[in-house]
Structure 1
């Protein structure tokens, strides 16, 4: 935004300080003058030439003649002192703002590693500097995350394209090759590329927060996700159990359903080879509604669990099972949770498997109605 040049804040503070000092001086001298006039007679009681030696006050005409030049000298001194002192005082007071401005200019050039780190006790400038440093920390982390995401997304998108090109080259160079096999493999690769693209679009939509908010009951979304994935769970020998209370929240029904579906799907895929269990529970707390999804499975390292929400991160089990997905399941869950001002916690279970807890702000106090556990499979 283009602005016309104006007076610097330092000069404004200097003039303000000097003006205030001059006003205080004028008021002080005026008060002295009024005080003196109360005790000075209109005419001299003695010979005016001898009044200064005998301790008798001079008449008002002589007093004004003596007082006025000295008052002008005092005001001139106050003006000079106010300008010089105000200039250095304003510079000292605005020094933290100069450091913040320097850090801001560095940030605009792309250097996000610089910090203000203003020393001293807390005041308005230091609160501003600390807030600016916090913003830079988050911005730097976000930019780094976006760069990793872009690099991973490029790699993931390049893989199906490379596979498709290889299959087409084989079909072109080897006419005797089974065309149906090539078509089937191309269909599978294309479907994976479409799934990845849709996941990327969903992730970007959630990150932008460009969705309509409405009242949503997480318990109904949990039941819908369980019913949708029931055939897939039965095929893998996994039982889904849903229970809990009505959990009203404010947000996008489509995104929250995607969140719930991703959690239940991951819980099914990363489970025991047979006779596994997935438990989906909803509840209400004084200030939040809670969705919990936990499953049975192998014991997980807490360090590995803490990285599962990173985009395109895949555990060893996911690769072995043949259900690799696109590596964005939990990343989408984390993004949707943040977009709804919620928190996501992943905790490995001691007996194996993982517990995922999503907390979203409650819409209103609710007593809660019980819903008996209903095995879905």
Structure 2
């Protein structure tokens, strides 16, 4: 309540933006989504109505730009033109403005294709932030940002780091600090209960015990879900997606390191049939995995059907079948010693990164009501998902290439 009053009482745009930034970095902004949206909408409309440069100060301009873009507002990169000289370069008098450079650096990561000003801004800020001699606190902030910009952090992990830093600031707000600490501990306790729940499920289905060749990545999978859905209200989605990723990891290892090509073809065919009777054609180690997936999907489908009135088995079946087919294609290339073209590889790898399977489950859990048009759009594998999966695949391959080549 006190934090909401603070948002209401902050009347100057700069004070409002600073407060919103603190709330976000402390990991508690989700409690004030309506208030934040109202403030940012007002600021954006006021700037558009005045039809003049927002703020001449680099720090304030960059902070406003970043927060507005984060929340979906259309803000032009041209607002930074006033900080350039006649040659189009950023002015030399900005070199010593550490706070402004840091905010401009963070803002540059919200660029879209072709925004040259923000590309130059990133190069400019990195160079001059690295060259500066800073006090201990400023150096800590700069080093942390250069190592991993805000736009690429895991929000909950970033909040834990920032809470500690914020507590040492001379101008910190004790109300916000206490709220952030309490919230972090309460949400952490929620995560622990969710992890206990999925751990019991994982132990009950016995995949780690019966398939010792497969990776046991339960905790890592759960942590991944926190990266995308950290708010406590998404607990059901976190547990479901953890299970999805655990099952995908086992299936990936079956295709990648254990199954023969004949067995893998039978396994893929079983998923295409989506029939418990198909289990008779599979070797023992595949039977338990296949049945675990079927039971898992049917359980989710039952809950969605009774809760939202939509039968989702056909859609989830397609998602699991598609990824098994893609895994099989990789296995065939491997067994046959075939090196695919880049185009062939990427077309298949966009599926094996498994994002579409994960997003399909998340969509049906989080969305209410479930609109038929949205489901059909998702099933068409639209461009927005194709580009997302391309980015994830390339990032994953860059991270694991040295391991695989060794």
Q: What band does the TM-score fall into relative to the shorter chain?
A: under 0.3
Pair member with larger Rg: 1
TM-score, scaled to structure 2: 0.21
Query: Is the helix fraction higher in 1 or 2?
Result: 2
Identify which of structures 1 and 2 has the higher relative contact order when contacts are C-alpha pairs closer than 8 Å and 6+ apart: 1
TM-score, scaled to structure 1: 0.23
Query: Is the strand fraction higher in 1 or 2?
Result: 1
